[in-house]
Structure formats: structure tokens, C-alpha cells
Amino acid sequence: MSVDSIRAKAEFILKMLANIQTIIVRHNGIVAALSDEIEARPAMLMAWLQIGETLNKIDTDVLAQFGLETDAKGSYDVRNFIAHDYMGVDLGLVEMITRNHLPVLHEKINRMLDECNTGV
């Protein structure tokens, strides 16, 4: 996998994470954002779906290099959970994932992007 491909995927994931964070700020919190069935909730779920899909396209050796193996598997599981059971999505689980895993994932993807940009 080329550095350019990894960089593009990392930038896209960071954009999706930023979108989720923007939605949360605009709604004054995760719970309020997930309560907005018209705009915020679908946008957040779509962003998580895209994150899972994109992480799944990164080579496993690259994921391992940045400690992202578990994050990638979990994100892809969330992607499947959202894509295949939208009506039954457990919003409490989405809240927990957003609250606890978004910051960690953001940090790891930032590190991956930094290394791509410095040529390490």
C-alpha cells in the first residue's frame, strides 16, 4: 500500500471524525445529536460507517504499525451493525463508541498521517 493511499485514507477518516465532532458541538452534546433523527443522527451514523469501511481498506501490516488492528476490527463491526440493522441501531452503544473511542482513534490516525507526511 502506497504512502499516498495511506495518507488519503487517514485524511478521509480524520475528516469524518471532525464531522462527528462538529455535529456534537452544534447539538451541545452526543446525546442531543443522536436524538436528532432528521439530520445529526443519520450524519453521525454515516460517518462511523465510512470510517469502518475505510479502515477495512488499509493493509493489516500498516494497521499493526500504528496499533489500529483492534480499532479497525471494531470500526468495521460498527459499520456492519449500522449498515445491516439501521432500524435497530443501539444508540447507547453509538454514544459509548463516540465518547470513548473517537478521541483514541483520532490520536492514532493523526499519528499515522504525521508519519506519512514525514516519510517515516
Domain boundary assignment for the chain: 3-118
Whole-angstrom distance, CA of residue 58 vs CA of residue 23: 26
**pLDDT digit string, tens, across residues 89-118:** 999 999 999 999 999 999 999 999 999 998
Q: What angle do CA 40, 14, 100 make, to 5 degrees?
A: 65
**pLDDT digit string, tens, across residues 53-97:** 999 999 999 999 999 999 999 999 999 999 998 678 999 999 999
12 near 114, Cβ under 8 Å?
A: no
Q: What is the mean pLDDT of residues 17-28?
A: 98
Whole-angstrom distance, CA of residue 14 vs CA of residue 18: 6
Helices then strands (H, E): number in the chain?
6, 0
Report how far apart the first and last C-alpha atoms of the chain are (Å, whole number). Answer: 14
> pTM for the full model?
0.94
Nearest to 12 by CA among 43, 61, 68, 50: 50
